[in-house]
Amino acid sequence: MPSLIFFVTCPKSLEYLLADELAGFGLELLRNAPAGAWVQGTLEAGYRACLWSRLANRVILHLADVEATSDEQLYEGVKSIDWPGHLRATGCFKVAFVGQSDAIRNTQYGAQRVKDAVVDRLRLEDGTRPSVDTDNPDITVSARLHRGRLQVGVDLSGDSLHKRGYRTEKGAAPLKENLAAALLLRAGWPEIAAAGGDFVDPMCGSGTLLIEAALMAMDQAPGLQREQFGFTRWQGHQPELWATLLEEATNRAQLGRAGNKSGFSGYDEDAAVINTAKRNIQRIDLAERVQVECRKLSDFARQSTWADQGLVLTNPPYGERLSERKLLTGLYQLLGEQVKLHLPGWRLGVFTGAPEVGHAIGLRSYKQYKMFNGKLPAQLLLFNVDEASVTRSKAVRDPDAVPDVHPRVFNRERAEMLGNRLRKNRKSLGQWARKNGIECYRLYDADIPEFALAVDIYGDQVHVQEYAPPKTVDARSARERLAEAMSVIPQALDIDNSAMVCKQRQRQAGTAQYEKQAMTGDFFTVEEHGCRLKVNLKDYLDTGLFLDHRPVRRWLQEHAGGKRFLNLFCYTAAASVHAVAGGAASSLSLDMSNTYVKWARDNLALNKADARVHKVEQVDCLEWLAAGPRSGETFDLIFMDPPTFSNSARMEGVLDIQRDHRQLVEQAMTLLAPGGLLIFSSNFRRFKLDNSLEAQFQVEEISKQTLDRDFQRNPRIHRCWHIRHSG
């Protein structure tokens, strides 16, 4: 069976879960994309995705990439596709068009041009031609316009795959089925179910989490009860293959129902939504296994039939209005009290749009996942219900965590001034970060002269860097102020001391930047613009992610499509990860540190990059550049962000970026293909670009464009240029 290319869409923030799921159906990941994944495999694998995916919205069979810099070019490209292999001349279709360009300024016009091309290709000599039917088409043509190219495909799904067929009633928007499935996967429900655990939702609403948990535990394909898919009347459809897959899914569901012994219990104080839940459960034929009851959270109690282990997963009210949010603390506190009292040894998952209230649960969250409920930012908070996870008073802190200060020199008024600034910054910057899908950002950067600190947010952890005080500042005074800061930061940000790491930031010479500060091995993964990156807040001076270069990485992701990318002095290759996510044809990342080369390879592997075309090598970049082009090898896009100082035998013992940058740029430009671009950056605050470079090349400073909102207080955090060949 030939290999086909599919674009599978999903809700935002589920891309990596989706890629792992699709691999289980026999689909090989080509690249991740915002709200989806490009994969390849057989038609059978594509059918399996339609039938079995718990996370996908749509499975689109990719037909062609069409040049579309003009409407006529778009028309001719679409017309050239083999439409007789997909639609009868007497058939009907509709076009789902997204995107725009200078030539195609609205989706209605774009859809019209695609429709014209399909009709004209299929029109017979007697005038017979396909018609448009937006309600019940034979096929849906998917057309996605981006950067002058149109991706054309056939939607094999029909209605969005999140519609399983059991939820038909209109009303207040409940949790979508595929988002519910993602929450269950993140919470580890498949493993708990396999071990015989039970499932409880104490605020179950219309029962979506309950039903998805039961389908998952019983190995029932989520699409098994759907009446129709988008491929049913598609000319390429293979009914016998589909019938075989349906029979297999039916047999698995029967075995799964017989073999799984988990119980599923749901409660809600709203009788109307409980009645809706009952009807949903009946439609999916789970009334004998899934029990729901109208009951207040305050009346929650353990049932004698429940196992000693299980999962409580719930989606409480978010309190979108301020008046409602004031009530959330009490609700979350009650939830925590009930699970601690009745379900010790279980796991608790809370999906919330108000994560700042999560502390009221009274348990320490061991994992948090940032997601979206529709367009609303939300988090899944996971807790172990055990004594070790019960939170203690934040007034109790580790005496080794901050410098010891005598109470009489502790200036509480001054410390509270810092606390107020942190709260104010988090309110504004936190909202901006959530809106833009940013998990790591700078919250505070020496805003108040008395507190010379940089405070960075990494998910639920905080990284504090103390700038080395000048010699004019008394060491004791500096120590006192650091102690004040470290005492107020956890309170202001509502975190436990264990979630905060503090270091002293000072200029590093030689190889000190690579030396370990600790040996915890405490790595964790953060996400940025759909990319996953490893960070470590404790073991090294730097964390593995330069936050100030976030806009540069985003630009690379948006412009690297089809390009050969070179990342010099690559550090942990975060820029390469973004280039790969943006569709770079190949990448080469170079660094002299074995530590960072390994880290870089881990980052690329974490993002499913093909190591055969996206390579990382340990080399001295100075020697590598001095050697010149290798066998005529050139690159379309080069990123170079050298350290300010670094050891090297080739340049009198050290790399001095101010002294040596001209030579580095000139050498890098010999590797740049015609029409290519070098992005050069330096974080040396007194850096000045050599005037001779502007005489040789087209040079444009873009420093202001590369500063996100969290670094606008410190505009000289770095400087950045676009450099091209002249002419």
Q: Does pLDDT of 97 surpass 70?
A: yes
Which residue bears the tokens 């009930």?
A: 338
- pLDDT of residue 20 exceeding 60: yes
> What are the pLDDT digits (tens) for 152-186?
999 999 999 999 999 987 655 579 999 999 999 99
Residue type, 430: G
Kindly report the backbone phi and psi dihedral angles of residue 95, in degrees, each rounded to the nearest multiple of 5, phi listed first.
-115, 125
Secondary structure (3-state) at 701: strand
Burial class (CB in 10 A: 0-12, 13-18, 19+), 292: buried
Could you tell me the two tokens for 720? 């950045």
Query: Can you read off the two tokens belonging to residue 79?
Result: 């017309």
Encode pLDDT of 658-702 as tens digits: 989 999 999 999 999 999 999 999 998 889 999 999 999 999 999
What is the structure's pLDDT at 377? 83
Q: Give the amino acid at 720.
A: C
SS3 61: strand
Given a cut of 60, is residue 564 above it in pLDDT? Answer: yes
CA distance 187 to 660: 52
Q: What's the N-to-C CA distance of the chain in angstroms?
A: 49
- Cβ of 56: how many Cβ atoms within 10 Å? 28
Task: List pLDDT tens digits, range 333-392.
Answer: 999 999 999 999 999 999 998 887 888 899 999 999 999 888 888 899 999 999 999 985
What string of DSSP letters covers 253-319? Answer: HHHHHHH----EEEEES-HHHHHHHHHHHHHTT-TTTEEEEE--GGG----TT--SSEEEEE-----
pLDDT of residue 50 exceeding 50: yes
Reported as a single tens digit per residue, the pLDDT across 428-444 is 999 999 888 899 999 99
Q: How far apart are CA 530 and CA 574, in angstroms?
A: 12
Contacts of 144 by beta carbon, 8 Å cutoff, 6+ apart = 7, 97, 98, 99, 150, 151
DSSP state of 541: S
pLDDT class for 93, splitting at 50, 70, 90?
Answer: very high
What's the pLDDT score for residue 511? Answer: 39
User: How confident is residue 714, by pLDDT bands cut at 50, 70 and 90?
Assistant: confident
pTM: 0.58
Among 324, 383, 377, smallest CA distance to 353 is for 377
In percent, the amount of the chain with pLDDT more than 90 equals 73
Walk me through the domains of the chain, giving residue ranges and CATH numbers.
Answer: 4-155 (3.30.2130.30), 177-222+257-389 (3.40.50.150), 407-506 (3.30.750.80), 524-725 (3.40.50.150)
Who has greater pLDDT, 523 or 482?
523
Contact 462, 455 (CB under 8 A): yes
- The Cα–Cα gap between 395 and 406 comes to 16
Q: Which residues sit opposite 67 in a β-bridge? A: 149
User: d(Cα 8, Cα 13) in Å, to the nearest integer?
Assistant: 14
- Flag whether pLDDT at 536 surpasses 50: yes
* Residue in 385, 384, 415, 386 with CA at minimum distance from that of residue 402: 415
pLDDT, the chain, mean: 89
Report d(CA 479, CA 485) in Å as an integer: 10
